[in-house]
């Protein structure tokens, strides 16, 4: 939980989100048990107002550069302004199932 906690703390401090969900999805992938390599982020913050999706994601990449340079292999990001989040009819999309490594269909 060290990486997940670090990601959460950095995003909280830099973005002051109204809503933040940092989900460790490593168990869905071909990695050892208790890994912290694959994460899904749902971030709702005023800091994304007037920023396009690419700029929002670039900002998050900058904030998490240390984690992405090391243990984090994959990062799914769902970035919203408060108005966008309120207008959504559903929560952030689910991540797809992993088809890589030993979980790949051999058929």
Q: Would you list the domain boundaries of the chain?
A: 2-88
Q: Report which of 36, 21, 28 is spatially closest to residue 73, judged by C-alpha positions.
A: 36
CATH code of the region 2-88: 3.30.300.90
Q: What's the whole-number average pLDDT of the chain? A: 85
d(CA 103, CA 28): 9
Residues 43-81: pLDDT tens digits? Answer: 999 999 999 999 999 999 999 999 999 888 889 999 999
- Please state the rounded mean pLDDT for residues 15-21: 97
The residues pairing with 20 across neighbouring beta strands, listed in sequence order, are: 43
């Amino acid at each position: 939980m060290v990486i997940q906690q670090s990601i959460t703390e950095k995003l909280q401090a830099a973005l002051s989100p109204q809503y933040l969900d940092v989900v460790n999805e490593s168990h869905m992938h071909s990695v050892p048990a208790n890994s912290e390599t694959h994460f899904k982020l749902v971030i709702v913050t005023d800091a994304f107002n007037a920023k396009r999706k690419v700029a929002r994601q670039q900002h998050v990449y900058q904030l998490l550069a240390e984690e992405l340079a090391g243990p984090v292999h994959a990062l799914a990001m769902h970035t919203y302004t408060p108005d966008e989040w309120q207008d959504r009819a559903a929560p952030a999309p689910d991540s797809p199932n992993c088809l890589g490594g030993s979980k790949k269909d051999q058929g």
